[in-house]
Structure 1
Amino acid sequence: MEKTVPELIAAISPEEWAQVPVSVLKLIEELVRRMDKIEQEVAALRTENELLKEQLARTSANSSQPPSKNSLTFKPNRKEPTGKKRGGQIGHIGHERKLYPVEVCQEVIDHYPAQCSKCGSEVSESISSQAYRHQVVEIPPVQPIITEHRFHQITCSCCGTENQASIMPEIIGKGGYGARVAAYVGLFSSQYRQSYRQIQKIMEAVFGIEMSLGTINNLRTEVSELGGSPAQQAVSGAVTDAQGYIQQQPIVGVDETGFKQRNGDGQNATKTSGWLWVAVTPLIICFQVILSRASTAAQTVLGSTFAGFITSDRCPAYNWVDIANRQICWAHLKRDFIQISERTGVSAEIGESLLVQEKLLFNLWYQFRNEQLTRSELVQAVEPIQAKFLSILTEAAELQIDGHEKTPLAKTVRTCRNLLKLEIALWLFVREEGVEPTNNAAERAIRPAVIWRRTSFGSDSAAGSEFVSRLLTVVSSLNLQERNILDFLVESISAARSGEIPPSLLP
């Protein structure tokens, strides 16, 4: 093996050094100094190169990057080919087009054969045994129902006094558009994430209703905004009740994503970064836009006295929750392990070892979910995996690194040290009924909001953020409960306008 420069210098005897001219000694010192500097720069460049390679290799499989940002060369894991032909297999129950009940058909036309296909005899309608049903569905031209109110002024023929018909607040106060029109604007803005101009075109093309962009904004505000009394709160009152419901649930999945709120109304002069928070239960999903990602924001979503279990990522905002009541998402952990395994040297070995344990763990979970294991059998089978996992993390955390080091190995060590602090929160799903090992429910719930953010670039004001939060809550919760969103919005707006109690989101 070749000797290093310091080793070669150390091998020179004092007698030999004494024979070297002073000018040569100075030259050697300068060259050694420069070589040390070059070696330091090379080491820094190697570290930087490894970090840049890791960034370039980032995908949805090894980071929180969405699939839409994957490179064209990324190939997700595919299932092994089974050898079967594509499409429905033999014995598969087919899915046919759904037929509407006969009672809702405006017209039923019966068709009968004129003669027997075998002997040619005429056949009688009275001996029909069965009929093949085929329905043609059509939408008639939509015409808006327009009601004109005229408040006349009449001059008294006796004294000449001008008499004006009383302006009725119950009519004028409802504005120029009915509850269903406002509900459609709210539906197109939320469920279908259409822009103001797109809604303007849809309302004219489909319903024959022309309206300005300002009118669309006013109708959106009416759908979302808080009224003067509890009976005039439309969807905002229902959303407030849903938030209270979430805070009383035993198990909640939570997640957050960036959501920019600009300063159009002067309420975000410091240009603070906004975050869209989501809390998920089996029947209610709540969204809130908050200008913070701190623990106080998470407490606003869950309630400061929340005592249930949560499933989340490793965001520090949830550290105020008792660690024994937390479940860290294993889908996030798997991405971290893949990223570690794609590094070189010791990091790769650590990552591969963690992935092996993760795979064993989920094999057991799938068996439990398919009722092949009982809860007690699952707990017992997971114990050696938990012990091995803890051993791997402990060994990795004990590796010596500089506190400010930015090498891939240093990142690996810091990740393992962080996981050691949360190790208790990795296994809640094993012992608690109803707790899932992943936060996929919250990830799926927040996906429409991410798409909304990418098309709208956030909101211009606090009112815009409230509209996003409330309508996402309404749409997501009603979809879970399989309730009609348009009907709910119509009922809510009609109730708010008439001073009645609006419908509830609660199941």
Structure 2
Amino acid sequence: MVSDKKVDQLLERITALEDRVDDLEQENEELKQENQQLRKENKRLRAKLRWYEGPHTPPSKDQANQDESSSSDGDEDDEQPRTDGGSPGRNPGHDPEWRTAPDPDREIEVTCDCCPDCGEVFDESAGVSPRLVEEIPDPQPPEVTQYNRHHYECHSCGSETVASHPDCPDEGQFGVNVIAQAALSRYDHRLPYRKIADRFEQLHGLEFTGASAWHATERAARAGRCEYERIRQHIQDAEVVHVDETGIKRDGEQAWIWTFTTEEHTLYAVRESRGSDVPAEVLGEDFAGTVICDGWRAYPAFSETLQRCWAHILREAEQAAEQQDEGEPIYRALKQLYVALQTQLESDLSLRERAELQRVARRELESLIERSVPDGPVATLLGKIEGGLDHWLTFVGEPAVSPTNNAAENALREPVVLRKLIGTLRNDRGMFVHETLLSLLATWSQQGRNLYEELKRVARDNEMISRAHAVPVVASSG
């Protein structure tokens, strides 16, 4: 038989275990409450982040991701913090880049007659250590030329002719070099007109004002307008065009700068409208290509042949998953579908195989749309997916079409930087100059051309075209 003492010990152990279970249950309940509070705080902080980080913010501007990646790369203890503001160097595994050594324009023999320590005279050199030094010449003062343009009167027809010279502009007192440098300083170096004037005076001793810099830049834009129209024609004939828009001020009022970009051409258009009339004007009513765009309603109003940007919808799905638990499986399924499509398309599929893959992917999207979710961010997300159902999978059937609109977003970066610097465009002339020069410089950069040489070329060509189309002055018979 079990003694009473042992029974009492067992009862004490049972009581202690029961007390321990009660303590653990209470601790578990406290942890649950703390967890719920932390989840609420996490949602609150994420909502606060959305004031400057939204689903339409490109990854390059996502400050949170940049902070995480910078803190997770490498061992912080092994690297000294940089104080010069420079980049940490090439990424691991990337080959270094070396500058190509230039051919010397001249050679200078650097010799020494005697030993600097004891004064012993040297007989001959024991060897040569060549060193290449690249230097730019001192800025040259402006060259002032007076063109005595002779006038002639035809005795047969009575017309009057003024002789022309290729380096003498028909208007203004500044030549093509000044025009090209002023435009480049403004739209590539991002200098204010006052600073452009200071630069000309400091480097070349040229008396120049901010107004002179503006007029020179305007002349560059007018000279390049024919080139602008040629870029527009190339884009109108393209099979695929990336389109995006962002806000800009025109005399303090809201306007929009649109970008239309292909692999070799980029066109900007500053308009007071954000509607479908702008792509209809720029691309033409009968545009037959595919437009890659975001979800702005102006695009489906303009064309039925669209590719909606997957980068946008994936960011929106991720944000919806953070806000609502029902969004997590939808975001995961959407991301898995996109990765699977990209993997499949890496192989050389025939058009028939692409069409079949497109049908399968559409059924996957339709199954997502059919899910029942409560009202909120996830329901809004599914509504967007359903609204663009005909436009998410164009890239699957057409090999030349990209699934994202990153090209247009990249093209808008330079105008956005300039927007922060200049604040607002003053009038129609400012809009004209802005869209023209931005388009020329962006296109020439895509094509690997020298921006300064191209600006000089269009300035000279414009003078020649103007003279070729000039109407002769007929002398009065009275």
* Alignment TM-score > 0.5, same fold: yes
Structure 2 residue matching 1:424: 3-state secondary structure: coil
C-alpha contact (below 8 Å) 1:253/1:310 kept by paired residues: yes
Matched, 1:182 2:179: yes
Q: Distance in 2 between matches of 1:313 and 1:136?
A: 50
- 5+ residue gaps in structure 1? 1-48, 113-121, 153-165, 226-233, 264-270, 402-408, 503-507
Count of residues paired in the alignment: 394
Structure 1 counterpart of 2:50: 58
Read off the aligned partner of 2:433 and give its amino acid letter: F
Instruction: Please identify, of 479-488 and 92-101, the stretch whose mean Cα deviation from structure 2 is larger.
Output: 92-101
Per-residue CA distance 1:166-198 (angstroms, 9 max, x = gap):
997764734221100110001111112211112
Read off the aligned partner of 1:354 and give its amino acid letter: I
Structure 2 counterpart of 1:338: 318
Matched, 1:499 2:465: yes
Matched, 1:425 2:391: yes
Per-residue CA distance 1:425-480 (angstroms, 9 max, x = gap):
00111111111110001100111011111111130011101111011100100001
CA RMSD, Structure 1 to Structure 2 (Å): 3.9
Matched, 1:415 2:415: no
Matched, 1:303 2:284: yes
Structure 2 counterpart of 1:461: 427
Matched, 1:367 2:343: yes
Structure 2 counterpart of 1:349: 326
Matched, 1:237 2:221: no
Distance change in 2, residues 1:61/1:192 (3 Å): same
Instruction: Please identify, of 352-361 and 488-497, the stretch whose mean Cα deviation from structure 2 is larger.
Output: 352-361
Distance change in 2, residues 1:460/1:50 (3 Å): farther
Structure 1 counterpart of 2:8: none
| CA deviation after TM superposition for structure 1 residue 496, in Å | 1.8
Read off the aligned partner of 1:395 and give its amino acid letter: R
Read off the aligned partner of 1:435 and give its amino acid letter: V
Structure 2 counterpart of 1:248: 237
| CA deviation after TM superposition for structure 1 residue 260, in Å | 1.1
Structure 2 counterpart of 1:393: 369
Q: Distance in 1 between matches of 2:209 and 2:383?
A: 57
Q: Distance in 1 between matches of 2:187 and 2:91?
A: 39
| CA deviation after TM superposition for structure 1 residue 64, in Å | 2.3
Read off the aligned partner of 1:287 and give its amino acid letter: Y
Distance change in 2, residues 1:80/1:429 (3 Å): farther
Structure 1 counterpart of 2:204: 207
Per-residue CA distance 1:203-223 (angstroms, 9 max, x = gap):
222333220122112111111
Structure 2 counterpart of 1:328: 308
Structure 1 residue matching 2:246: 3-state secondary structure: strand
Structure 1 counterpart of 2:144: 147
Per-residue CA distance 1:54-75 (angstroms, 9 max, x = gap):
6523177642246798678984
Distance change in 2, residues 1:92/1:312 (3 Å): closer
Structure 2 residue matching 1:436: 3-state secondary structure: coil
The within-5 A match list for 1:277-292 is 277-292=258-273
Q: Distance in 2 between matches of 1:132 and 1:356?
A: 63
| CA deviation after TM superposition for structure 1 residue 243, in Å | 0.8
Read off the aligned partner of 2:440 and give its amino acid letter: V
| CA deviation after TM superposition for structure 1 residue 247, in Å | 0.9
TM-score (norm 1): 0.68
| CA deviation after TM superposition for structure 1 residue 150, in Å | 8.3
Q: Distance in 1 between matches of 2:74 and 2:46?
A: 34
Q: Distance in 2 between matches of 1:209 and 1:312?
A: 46
Matched, 1:96 2:98: yes
Distance change in 2, residues 1:394/1:182 (3 Å): same
Per-residue CA distance 1:346-371 (angstroms, 9 max, x = gap):
xx322x223223432343355357x4
Structure 2 counterpart of 1:220: 217
Per-residue CA distance 1:59-103 (angstroms, 9 max, x = gap):
77642246798678984557976899986699864322221134x
Q: Distance in 1 between matches of 2:425 and 2:444?
A: 24
Q: Distance in 2 between matches of 1:71 and 1:439?
A: 20
Q: Distance in 1 between matches of 2:107 and 2:281?
A: 55
Structure 1 residue matching 2:433: 3-state secondary structure: helix
- 5+ residue gaps in structure 2? 1-40, 80-87, 113-122, 150-160, 469-478
C-alpha contact (below 8 Å) 1:60/1:66 kept by paired residues: no
| CA deviation after TM superposition for structure 1 residue 284, in Å | 0.5
Q: Distance in 2 between matches of 1:366 and 1:133?
A: 53
Distance change in 2, residues 1:320/1:96 (3 Å): same
Instruction: Please identify, of 476-485 and 203-212, the stretch whose mean Cα deviation from structure 2 is larger.
Output: 203-212
TM-score (norm 2): 0.72
C-alpha contact (below 8 Å) 1:285/1:477 kept by paired residues: yes
Per-residue CA distance 1:144-165 (angstroms, 9 max, x = gap):
342242879xxxxxxxxxxxxx
Structure 2 residue matching 1:342: 3-state secondary structure: helix
